[in-house]
Amino acid sequence: MCAADPTAGESAACDACTAENCAPATDGCSPSLFPSEEKRGKCLNLYCCLRANDCKDGDALNCWCGDASYLDCIRRDEAANGVCLNEFRAAAESTVAATIKQRFVDPHYSIGGAVNLHVCRSTFCSRYSDPPVPPPNACDL
């Protein structure tokens, strides 16, 4: 559960990098992407979990699958056991593995906004936050 918005305020350099490299139409949990507080909250909670757990250098899939193989994770509903499993299921609005995988980067779902922002920041902005963590008190995990 996020106590604050973990997508902003990490550092001025990180915020500038995000603005320069990430697409506001697909990356993040902004009210323009998710006007519903419920969907925005699911997006923020997943993003918060991804950042708090570093997810192997930006690999959000690891935080969903855990130690399950990729094929097991996307094919068997009960295989995933990652640290952010509950947040992924909530943000994807499904517990079905194939559906979660299908929606993984779809910005029409909370999962897509959170994963897309996590991948963008991990790819372009990680040097501004080492280790990459949310702002102080952003996550109440």
Look up residue 53 and give its two tokens: 């757990």
* Assigned token pair, 34: 């998710």
Instruction: Report the run of H or E that residue 122 belongs to, with start and end.
Output: helix 110-124
Tens of pLDDT, residue by residue over 47-98, are 989 988 877 666 899 999 999 999 999 999 999 999 999 999 999 999 999 9
* Cβ-proximal residues to 26 (8 Å cutoff; 6+ apart), any chain: 33, 107, 112, 113, 116
Query: First-to-last CA distance in the chain?
Result: 6
The DSSP letter of residue 134 is P
Q: How far is CA 98 from CA 39, 59, 91, 101, in A?
A: 20, 18, 14, 5
The C-alpha atoms of residue 84 and residue 23 are separated, in whole angstroms, by: 24
Write out pLDDT tens, residues 25-39: 999 999 999 999 999
- pTM: predicted TM-score of the whole model, two decimal places: 0.86
